[in-house]
Structure 1
Amino acid sequence: MVNKMGDVTLHPNSWLKEMARLNPSKWNMSRSCRASLAIALPMLVGYYTHTLMYTMWISMGAMFPSIGERDAPYGFTVRKILISAPIGVSGFLMGYLNTWGLDWGWIVLIMSAVGFAMAIASSYSATISIGCLQFMVMAAVSLGNPEIGHFWMSSLLLLGGASFYLLLLYLEKWICPHHIRRDAIEQVLHALIALCQKKIEQADVESARLQFNMKYEALYTLMLQKRYQALGHNIVWDQTAEVVQNMDNLFAIIMATQNRDEIAQIQTCLQQMVQALVQDQRLEPGHPDGLAQWQALNDLTLALWGRAPVSATPQNLPQRALNLRLTLQKLSPGRATVRSALALALCTAIGYAIRWVDDVSHWYWVPMTVSIVMKPELGSIFVRAVQRTVGTAAGVVLGGLLLALVPVGPLFILIIAAITFVLPWLAPRNYALTAFAITPLVLVLIDFLSPARSGMQYADLRLLDTLMGCAIVLLFGYLLWPRRHASELQESMAQARQAIAHYLQLVLDHRLQPESADVSEARRAAYGKLVDMRAALQKSMAEPPPAGYEAAAWFPLVACAARLCDAITVYSASASAQPDEQEWAWLQQMPQAIAGLQSLPELPAQLLDGHSPESQLIASIRKETHTRERLYEKAVAPTAAAAT
């Protein structure tokens, strides 16, 4: 049943089906083996050396990266662990607040403030978000178990577990590497090379064009699926979105080019890209003599290997000071991000305040549950609360039976290894399954920390605390705050475009004064809207399919808007003192085009090929506007189809 506004409504059974729907997930054997070894091997060593109390922390340290790993280049995964692991384990040092005898009221206020700061930091990138989540979880564990005492030692052991996981990752890269993203990009490049060959031979290009379309759609689908499964803002798949867009542009250029010599030069450049990609080398942009399409090739090169640093020289402000101000303004959170941070701070304070009415040491599961469920970029708060409750209930039964019936030994560790073996496959499919698999692992750790609270009794307390944490989140982090539903993405998109257009207009009005307070405020507002746009996208993407998958089609629009905003920022620092009159006249029309108040005018070719700051900004706006229009049609198509 569909209402007049096109929203799917009024079928509780269909809502429950979507809540329980399993997302697609391919079994990655190497990742499953790596997770199983990283968690079970330290336990096995600890069992035979009677040091299980210490090696359990190593296993826990290895569990975090095994849960959060997704398909990405090895370098990105390594950087993610190197950044997130130290942030996460440092949360264990918060336990000293308790052992130092600090009044619990102050601890509640401190953790509330920390939760607010972590929520703001989480909006910047997926890597920081993962580290902040681990920080909050480890802080709850350490504050709830003051008997651990030497928190610095536990932190080092947790860091050792992450290091062990990194070692296994490097061994895999050396012995049997996997490059899903790179292989998909390589296949599209080969399809473009084959298309060039057909054009050179003046043969029928129909089969080559069909092959390109198939490979291109496969890469586009992979991009959407992996972005849908990613945890937070993921720079790799944002970069892939730009690669996909530039491949599409280059395909159109190849189809339109009739000069065989130019086609041959394009083919040679594409072959160089493939060679550099396979050999894991960086390819620098070039300027082939006599090749009119060199800019399109350079755009693709820069998308694949990263953009060259901007060498703009501001006119009235030292470079270092301007760079610092630009960085601070980019980090300024938007209203939606601040609202989410305030909600997390409130729920965190309530979670830690539970200790005043329940001082049994298991109380800390409440704030830990709050931290996990309240991560907005990991999904809908309501959906995660329900899924976590269901998954934890099933996991408690499994964990309690494991602790009560199976003595610690090789069989016990083998069962743990089996659970961790399926964890990488379960994690992307459904959060309830993730909670189901993680719960027994965490129960085992707590059993060794506090043996007096082991078995089914402790498992029951674990479930009750999880229910309490979810209830706090639903009441004070969800129902208390005003919510927006299907219109949130389009509203965020419109607000971001208006803010970027206003930013450009003020940059033009203050061309000779890039340090103007008005320009700084507009820049801060524009980047803040982009942060809100990402936050809205992440929340919508994490809803059960098909809503989440439809929202994934919007994320290239976020990357497009960010590139446009960056181009304006570059121009503000390098604008010509006396711009060309024609270029300046065209540039004055761009804010209206960005805001969508008028169509983008037809621009003369000589204007787009210029090298002045004004000409380069106009070319960037034209490219990103056309890209945005194509992507917007793709993004709204699934919603329109659903409405009909």
Structure 2
Amino acid sequence: MARRSRATRLAPPSWLTESLRPQAAPVPWAAVARASVALSAPLAVGTATGRTGYGALVSMGALSGVIGDTADAYRMRVFNIAVPQLVGALGVLLGAVVYGEGWTAVAVLTLIALVSGMISSIGAVASVSGLLLLLNAVVGAGLPLPSPWWLPPLLLLTGGGVVLVLSLIAWPLRAGTPERGVVAGTYRAVADLLEATGSRGYDEKRRALTDSLNHAYDVLLARRARRHGRSRTLVRLLAQLNAVIPVVEAAAAAQLRPTELGPLPAAYPAAVRQLADAVEQGRAGPAPAPVLPEPGGPSTRALDEAIGHAATVVHEPEPDPYATADRLGRPAGLRDRARRAARALLLSGASWRYGLRLALCIGLAQVLVSVIAVPRSYWVALTVTFVMKPDFGSVFSRAVLRALGTAAGLLIAMPVLAEVPRGWWDVPMMAVLAALIPALSAKGYAFQTAAITPVILLLSDLLNHQGFHLVLPRLYDSLIGCAISLLAGYLLWPESWHTRIGDRLADAVADTASYVSLAFTTRPGRDEPARARYRRRLYRDLSAVRSEFQRALTEPPPVAARAQAWWPLVIAVERIVDTTTATRVRVEHGAPVPSPAEVGAVARELADLAEALRTGEVLPEPPEGAIAPDCALARLHHEVHAARAMAR
């Protein structure tokens, strides 16, 4: 017993083991091949022409492109790679202007850090753009780059262009394939959910389906917003994705079936998988109707109708483009989107807080290396930039993982820098090291850091020719950057010690109250676009709650312990959302219709719960007898009562 207690005390804390656990993700072999070629080919050209430094700068630009090459659709890849590369070229230009300028460089980099942090809150592409703006500015201010002034930005852009060209080679042959793949993947996630109805694995499959739906809509709507006019293929895919939503809702109703009815027949998930194959292969035209069992109640009747409707839409060669647009809402014009982005940038408190935190840390890093002689001091600011990236998760865990990942990367780099001769041997070595970046990035932040570190060290060695002497200074610089991030970017900010789980839960409950008021006070078929938008908002709310919960678990005590205390209420709110969806489906397929007074009573209780979660005030007791035991909302009312009891 004493030995077990001693082992328990020596075990690493749960927040660290949670962060270091590799994520289960397949190896992206196409991205591995692109990274290997994009980073090694410029070195080969530079070595052959005697311009090794030029080749290293092109490879550095390619490295930025590899990190940002995360989109599925080809059109999105153009945007996701090209825009950050242009912003990064501006960053290296600004950094090179203040190279060797002392305190002027400190002021300029601090201002760039403020802008970088603020624009990172706009969206995913802006986030990568902000990262490259600051990273390249730090490199330009810390390394002697070749002249004239336009050459380093041009070389970096060339490297990003190499990645872009490699990522688009298959576009003529596979146009539309990635989009069809994400929609088909959502259909298969729905089939998995149907198989799990009535079992303990239902919640896990529902969360996986939510992630798949969010990803599919992000891919299709992002492409739709960047196209002028209507694409027949895109409209068809959007119609197919919309058509699976009723199946998802019917699955929630099937989950609430009485257990004595037994598991859901296998014909239902099999029919949905057949539709997934048709979506992925792009098949259209007449097809046999799905063979399904005779419905035995409102839930299976809803499922039968939903799968039949999805089959019609999947095989429909020419869906109505205007029906699709009306259901999803028309994409905003470029001017409107720019206005919203500017408003989010300038008026958002979160935007200013992230910008100020990043600017403070970069300013301290630059002041420190200006006062104390630190060799190749730009690495300190680079470490701060990666750790403080606002949308990468917990600052604390990133600082720890960055230190551990850097140490692991240095272990890889040491034999390379010590034993591999300069020259042509750098090319195959870079090909191997670059291939590790996309392969390990999918496993987690520490693994990505361990893969990127030896690549950056090899490129730095090609520019500085320090060899093995780069290793220990890089470790010291990384530890200094992590320490600055922890002190000035984490400990000094009170919000670091609080979770936002309660606020996110309050948003989800408030949106559920609005959805209840809308869903049960309109006749079937009326206001369906509005209900569709509310449903999407509800499940995005749940995704935000989950993301915040996972982030909080990687924080040190007491934040992680507080997050654990929220877990039962997180589950309760998810059950409320599922039950709301299922009840609406059952009402539309024969269950009793609740009265306006009953709908109002449940909506008020949900609104009170949302306010209590947001403010911490004591929940008022609900009035007695507001909901009859045999009302259609009785099951939902029971879930709301359970959540209110936990909140108290």
TM normalised by structure 2 equals 0.63
Determine which of 122, 137, 140 is the counterpart of 1:139. 137
2:77 is aligned with 1:80: no
What's 2:330 paired with? 308
Q: Work out whether 1:118 is the aligned partner of 2:151.
A: no
Contact 2:60–2:156 at 8 Å: present in 1 too?
Answer: yes
Rounded to whole Å, the distance in 1 between the matches of 2:545 and 2:380 is 25
The answer to whether the Cα contact below 8 Å between 2:77 and 2:164 also exists between their aligned partners in 1 is no
Match of 2:430 among 413, 416, 422: 416
Matched letter for residue 408 of structure 2: A
What residue in structure 1 maps to residue 258 of structure 2? none
Deviation at 1:445, TM superposition (A): 1.4
Residues 115 and 171 of structure 1, relative CA distance in 2, 3 Å threshold: same
Among 314, 317, 323, the residue aligned to 1:274: 314
Displacement, 1:355? Answer: 3.2
State the one-letter code of the partner of 2:473: L
For residues 484 and 351 of structure 1, do their structure 2 counterparts lie closer, same or farther at Cα, with a shift above 3 Å needed?
A: closer
TM superposition shift of 1:438: 1.1
Please identify, of 459-468 and 48-57, the stretch whose mean Cα deviation from structure 2 is larger: 48-57
**1:334-364 per-position Cα deviation (integer Å, ceiling 9, x unaligned):** 4344333222111110111123224555011
Partner of 1:374: 388
Distance 1:338 1:493 in 2: 24
1:444 is displaced (CA, Å) by: 1.6
Aligned residue number for residue 91 of structure 1? 91
Post-superposition Cα deviations, 1:84-128, rounded to whole Å, max 9, x if no partner, equal: 2212222101124325x7x53333223222212211211111111
- The CA distance in 1 between the partners of 2:193 and 2:405, in whole Å, is 48
Structure 2: distance between partners of 1:540 and 1:333: 28
In the alignment, the residues of structure 2 paired with residue 218 and residue 283 of structure 1 have an alpha-carbon distance, to the nearest angstrom, of: 35
CA spacing shift, 1:137–1:264, aligned 2, 3 Å: same
- Contact 2:381 2:481 (8 Å CA) reproduced: yes
Query: What is aligned with 2:475?
Result: 463
Supply the distance in 2 between the matched residues of 1:542 and 1:73 (Cα, whole angstroms): 32
**Offset, 1:212:** 9.4
Q: 2:503 aligns with which of 491, 505, 523?
A: 491
Q: Which runs of 5+ in 1 are unaligned?
A: 1-8, 195-206, 287-297, 312-319, 503-526, 562-582, 603-621
Following the alignment from structure 2 to structure 1, what is the Cα–Cα distance between the partners of residues 148 and 64?
A: 21
Correspondence 1:204-243 to 2 at 5 A: 210=195, 220=206, 222=208, 235-236=218-219
Shift of 1:129: 0.6
Q: How does 1:138-537 map to 2 (within 5 A)?
A: 138-174=136-172, 182-183=180-181, 185-186=183-184, 189=187, 210=195, 220=206, 222=208, 235-236=218-219, 247-249=247-249, 270-271=310-311, 273-274=313-314, 284-286=321-323, 302=327, 307-309=329-331, 328-331=342-345, 333-359=347-373, 362-451=376-465, 454-484=466-496, 487-494=499-506, 537=547
Structure 1 counterpart of 2:521: none
Structure-2 change in CA distance of 1:136 and 1:330 (3 Å): closer
Instruction: Give the distance between the partners of 1:462 and 1:166, measured in 2 at CA.
Output: 30
Matches of 1:71 and 1:226, distance apart in 2: 14
CA distance in 1, matches of 2:139, 2:347: 29
Instruction: Give 1:59 shift.
Output: 1.6
The amino acid across from 2:382 in the alignment is M
Aligned partner of 1:39 in structure 2 is: 39
Go from structure 1 to structure 2 and tell me whether the alpha carbon gap of 1:283 and 1:135 turns closer, same or farther (over 3 Å shift).
farther
The percentage of counterpart residues that share the same residue type is 27
Tell me the amino acid that sits aligned with residue 428 of structure 2. L
CA distance in 2, matches of 1:224, 1:190: 12
Would the aligned equivalents of 2:145 and 2:152 in 1 still touch at CA under 8 Å?
no
Alpha-carbon distance change, 58 to 219 in structure 1, aligned in 2, over 3 angstroms: farther
What is the total number of aligned residue pairs between the two structures? 509
Give the superposition deviation at 1:374: 0.6
Give 1:145's aligned amino acid. Answer: L
1:492-520 Cα deviation digits (max 9, x unpaired): 44379779999xxxxxxxxxxxxxxxxxx
Name 2:107's counterpart in structure 1.
109
The match for 2:25 is 25
Q: CA deviation at 1:156?
A: 1.6
1:462 Cα deviation from its structure 2 partner: 1.3
Asked if the contact 1:71/1:180 (under 8 Å) is kept, the reply is: no
Cα distance in 2 for residues equivalent to 1:538 and 1:227: 19
Question: 1: CA distance between counterparts of 2:179 and 2:431?
Answer: 29
CA distance in 1, matches of 2:25, 2:189: 27
8 Å CA contact 1:112–1:348 kept in 2: the answer is: yes
RMSD across aligned positions (CA):
5.6
Structure 1 residue matching 2:422: 3-state secondary structure: coil
The question of whether the paired residues in 2 share the 8 Å contact of 1:122 and 1:129 is answered with yes
Q: Secondary structure at the match of 1:23?
A: coil
Question: Residues of 1 paired with 2:157 and 2:344: CA distance?
Answer: 31
- Please state whether the residue corresponding to 1:362 is helix, strand or coil: coil
- Compared CA separation, residues 212 and 307, structure 1 to 2 (3 A): farther
1:298-331 CA-partner distances (Å, limit 9, x unpaired): 59x95xxx532589xxxxxxxx9x9987665455
Q: Distance in 2 between matches of 1:264 and 1:224?
A: 22
Asked if structure 2 preserves the Cα contact closer than 8 Å seen for 1:141 and 1:364, the reply is yes
Tell me the alpha carbon deviations over residues 536-564 of structure 1, each in whole angstroms, 9 at most, x when there is no partner.
Answer: 9469448659989999x98xx99xx9xxx
Q: What residue is the counterpart of 1:517 in the other structure?
A: none
Q: What amino acid is aligned across from residue 377 of structure 1 in structure 2?
A: D
Do 1:72 and 1:236's aligned partners in 2 also have CA atoms closer than 8 Å?
yes
Q: CA distance change for structure 1 residues 76 and 283 in 2, over 3 Å: closer, same or farther?
A: farther
DSSP-derived class of the 2:321 partner: coil
* 8 Å contact from structure 2 (residues 417, 467) kept in 1: yes
Aligned position for 2:589: none
Match of 2:263? none
Deviates more, 1:477-486 or 1:465-474: 477-486
Checking the alignment, whether the CA contact within 8 Å between 2:440 and 2:447 is kept in structure 1 is yes
1:133 Cα deviation from its structure 2 partner? 0.8
Aligned partner of 1:38: which letter? A
- Structure 2, unmatched stretches of 5+, are 1-8, 223-237, 255-294, 515-536, 578-595, 612-619, 627-632
The 8 Å contact of residues 142 and 148 in structure 1, kept in 2 or not, is answered as no
Whichever residue aligns with residue 321 of structure 2, its letter is E
> What letter is aligned with 2:44?
L
